[in-house]
Each structure stands twice: as structure tokens, then as C-alpha cells.
Amino acid sequence: MRYAGRIARVVYALTPVVHRLVTANPEVARRLVDVLFGGDTYEDLWHYLIGRYTIFRLAR
């Protein structure tokens, strides 16, 4: 749940930015859905996000 908390902090603090990110990049949305349906973990999603988007790296 540590990774879910990190993701949540960014999403809640920067909701408009994250919304644009998800809208512009369907892969982000797909990966989130994978987590929600148990096909992936929050840790995997976190590593994907920090590897590609600065706003998530800043939230470490």
C-alpha cells in the first residue's frame, strides 16, 4: 500500500495534470485498470510512472 499512497498523493495534489497525462497517454489508464483488476501491482505501476513522468519522481 506504500506505492498506492505515493500514487494517490500525486493524483490528489496534481489532479488536472494527471488527468491530462491519462487523457494523452492511454497506456497509463490501461496500467491503472490492470492494477484495479489484479493483473498488476501498485509497485509495478509506480515504477512505470517514475520511469516516464517527472511529476511522479518528485513525489518519492
Domain ranges of the chain: 2-57
State mean pLDDT over 21-28: 94
pTM as predicted: 0.86
Asked if residue 60 lies in contact with residue 50, where contact means CB atoms within 8 angstroms, the answer is yes
> What does the pLDDT read at residue 58?
86
State mean pLDDT over 19-42: 95
> How far lies 50's CA from each of 39, 43, in Å?
19, 11
